[in-house]
Amino acid sequence: MDPLDELLYAVRANGSVLGTPVLPAGTALRFTDAAALTLCAPLRGEGWLHVDGQTVHLKPGETAVVRGPEPFVFSTAPPAGRESSSDPSSGPGSGSGSGSVGLDPAIEPIDVTCDGTIGAQPETEQPGGTVLLAGAYHVRQEMPRRLIQGLPAVMIVADDYDCTPLLDYIENALAIGKLGRQVSLDRLVDWLMVCTLRDWFDLNSPRWYAALGDPVVGPVLQAMHRSPADPWTLASLADIAGVSRTTLARRFTDLTGESPLGYLTDLRMTLAADLLAEPGSSVGAVARRIGYADAFSFSAAFKRERGISPSTLRQPAGV
């Protein structure tokens, strides 16, 4: 599994369609799921995201992913007193983190979660209103959290990329009542999230994602993520890349910011943190699974890298 696959494998949505039949103009929703990632896609109409001191215009057909866990606001009203930003590649500027900067002060946001409802809804169709598809993703594993930390606070994919046909399908299926149970919507939101993130990564190519496509570094990253417990050395990794050790070390560091063996150590410790959190895990078993001969050497390495002992993270049996 490559790093992005590890992130996508870890996320499962609680999805909702907010606004039935529509969210009228002047509605503001404050998302309080405390989710690692939240997907927002207007199925009809438009809106404005107020995230971490920035206001971002979300136009019809676009899909946004907001990095949490801080609350943020989606509003159907334009921001008060300034122009909004709609550059999908730029991260938000620093702010108070309240998620309400740029929001019209006359509008009182309604607190919502993606697995709940938003309270009173209009009983008749409201012309010009907004129907919002939203899904919250709680990521508890250490491995995908490491990737999320490097993402901007808001990621937007325009209406002319791979996820657009899926968004159209969801809108049409909802209109005719075809989706049925909640689980069907959740899985479709998962699929939309996968398409959106892959489109965004293809467009913006973060450092580690660009390295996956490199002919030298890519195969090495794949090998380490596929078999982190193998007894890798710089020489064996260079053999996979088909280059000298010096060439691999230089190119790997240039593209990822870490040396090959430094990256491997961090990968193993991140995986170990997830394994130690599993009920009934043992330090010795985790040590073997990530390539250490015994619990003592693993414990010393883990404490050196993470500052705490593995036993601190280990879940007692039955928990």
Tens of pLDDT, residue by residue over 152-193, are 899 998 877 777 777 777 777 766 666 555 566 677 788 888
The pLDDT of residue 252 is above 90: yes
Question: For 282-295, what is each residue's pLDDT tens digit?
Answer: 899 999 999 998 99
- List the beta bridge partners of residue 204: none
Residue recorded with tokens 């594993």: 141
The pLDDT of residue 4 is above 70: no
Higher pLDDT pick, 87 / 64: 64
- Say which amino acid occupies 167: L
Question: For 6-37, what is each residue's pLDDT tens digit?
Answer: 666 656 555 555 554 578 888 889 998 888 88
How big, in percent rounded to 5, are the helix, strand and coil portions of the chain?
40, 20, 40
Contact 278, 310 (CB under 8 A): no
Question: For 205-230, what is each residue's pLDDT tens digit?
Answer: 777 777 888 999 999 998 998 899 99
- Say which amino acid occupies 280: G
Residue 11 CA, chain-centre distance (Å), reads 8
Contact 21, 125 (CB under 8 A): yes
Calculate mean pLDDT across residues 104-129.
65
The pLDDT of residue 64 is above 90: yes
The pLDDT of residue 120 is above 50: no
In this prediction, residue 136 has a pLDDT band, given cuts at 50, 70 and 90, of confident
Residue 235 pLDDT: 97
The pLDDT of residue 96 is above 70: no
Show the tokens assigned to 80: 């008060």
The pLDDT of residue 250 is above 90: yes
C-alpha 318/C-alpha 279 separation (Å) is 6
The pLDDT of residue 69 is above 90: no
Q: Which of 109-123, 126-140, 147-161 has the lowest mean pLDDT?
A: 109-123
User: Rounded to 10 degrees, what is the CA torsion of 225, 228, 233, 237?
Assistant: -20
Contact 290, 275 (CB under 8 A): yes
Q: Taking all residues of the chain, what is their mean pLDDT, rounded to a whole number? A: 78
The pLDDT of residue 233 is above 80: yes
Phi/psi region, residue 127 (left: phi>0; alpha: psi -120 to 50; beta: rest), is: beta
Closest CA to 161 of 204, 196, 206: 196
Q: Give the pTM.
A: 0.69
Domains (range + CATH), the chain: 3-204 (2.60.120), 211-313 (1.10.10.60)
Residue 174 pLDDT: 67
